[in-house]
Amino acid sequence: MSVVAAVTPSVAQGVAQGVALLAQQPIRVMIVDDAVVVRGLVSRWVDAEPDLKIVASLRTGQDALDELERTDPEVVLLDVEMPVLDGMAALPLLLQKRPNLAIIMVSTVTRRNAEVTLKALTLGAADYVPKPETNHEVTTSETFRHDLIEKIRHIGWRRRGRKYVPPTSRQPASALRPQKPFTVEGLVADGNVHALQAPQPQSEIKLRAFAPAIPRVLLIGASTGGPQALSTILAAIGRVIDRAPVLITQHMPPTFTTILSEHLTRISGRPACEAVEGEPILAGKIYVAPGGRHLRVARVNGTAVARIDNGPAINFCKPAVDPLFASAAKVWGSWNLAVILTGMGADGTEGAGEIVAAGGNVLAQDEASSVVWGMPGAVAHAGHCAAILPLDRIAGKITRLFCGDRQ
């Protein structure tokens, strides 16, 4: 039941102080993996971060269930393949005991594990991190370490109901204290103090007017939480896909994008596949940037074609959203409608700016419905968006824009 309480200044100050105190506490992390080398290495990485803390390092999913109440983690790193009780079997049981628990699946990049991991996202996992296949690769992979730490950090803060702010730009505790009474609304069932948040200072977001051109191409960029968001949208825009090409960059490794394409084909009822070098971009088809490659577009003899780029990572990402958006702005100009969905970081912001400069439009997913409001938040604060919408309203807006509605 929703609880609404008018809070007196003294109580409000106490709540704000509690929020500020919570903000100073490290995110509590449990790692569950049967490989002792991985557990030890990841534990050292996590404990080296001042805002993160390992509270349990365990071998099986059953151990995680047994230790959940005692260790009280906020984020669980859950391996897919383990003895006794594997990750997929443990996932629903952990969420049953602790619905607000953030679970990040960790698995090697095989077709089976990719299928299992994407299924885990539909069952409540917050995200996934692909794990190198050998212990040596785990030890030496800076990408794996970077992705793991950043996802723990951003998803952990999100589960506290707060956006991660880098230490250099954090407000002092005194800045969190309200100077007048405020209303606390929607206390969560588990009674955690993170449900009570003092107002946070933010720069104002200004929306642009919609450009007049009717879109003929749909571009989508997504990262953390993206597979679920893509499924929601593509299941509801069949009429748009029939009349326009859809190009997607989802931050994912090889094999995972193959499985994602197959899943989107089933969801949308339209063909979705990893883009192939030189193939023409046609209406009625969904093109997914292949894992480990950037997807761009170019015009050759008057026809728009896919260009697959094996250049360096951009914004720590490969594939990255910016190359797709920037090249589409050059090829299609005002025909582009770009959508930025949930994800960490700021990938897509520069490309969205080029879309707008070429006369196209940009939509972003709103903060409340995003797993992480990094990418859409960056685009919104950059002033590129004509609308910022909850996930369940984006498909409808896309359909109306392709029908010529500018409202």
Catalytic residues: 223, 251, 347
Residue pair 33/82 in contact by the 8 Å Cβ criterion: yes
Q: How far apart are CA 265 and CA 273, in angstroms?
A: 8
**List of residues 6+ apart from 195 with CB closer than 8 A:** 161, 186, 187, 188
Measured torsion, CA atoms of residues 104, 108, 112, 118, in degrees rounded to the nearest 10? 30
Q: How far apart are CA 105 and CA 125, in angstroms?
A: 7
35, HSE (Cβ side, Cα atoms, 13 Å): 20
Least Cα distance to 395 among 302, 268, 291 occurs for 268
Q: How far apart are CA 161 and CA 222, in angstroms?
A: 21
E-strand ranges in 115-240 read 127-131, 183-185, 217-222
Least Cα distance to 210 among 390, 356, 399, 395 occurs for 356
Q: Which long-range contacts (CB under 8 A, 24 or more apart) does 8-15 make?
A: 8/181, 9/178, 9/180, 9/181, 12/178, 12/181, 12/182, 12/198, 13/177, 13/178, 15/184, 15/196, 15/198
DSSP 375-398: HHHHHHHTT--SEEE-HHHHHHHH
Amino acid identity of residue 407, one-letter, is Q
Q: Report in angstroms the alpha-carbon separations of 46 from 56, 223, 344.
A: 12, 22, 18
E-strand ranges in 44-100 read 52-58, 75-79
Least Cα distance to 156 among 55, 246, 265, 292 occurs for 55
Joined together, the tokens standing for residue 124 give 């409540």
Q: How far apart are CA 191 and CA 363, in angstroms?
A: 35
* Phi-psi group of 207: left, alpha or beta (phi > 0 → left; psi -120 to 50 → alpha; rest → beta): beta
Residue pair 257/289 in contact by the 8 Å Cβ criterion: yes
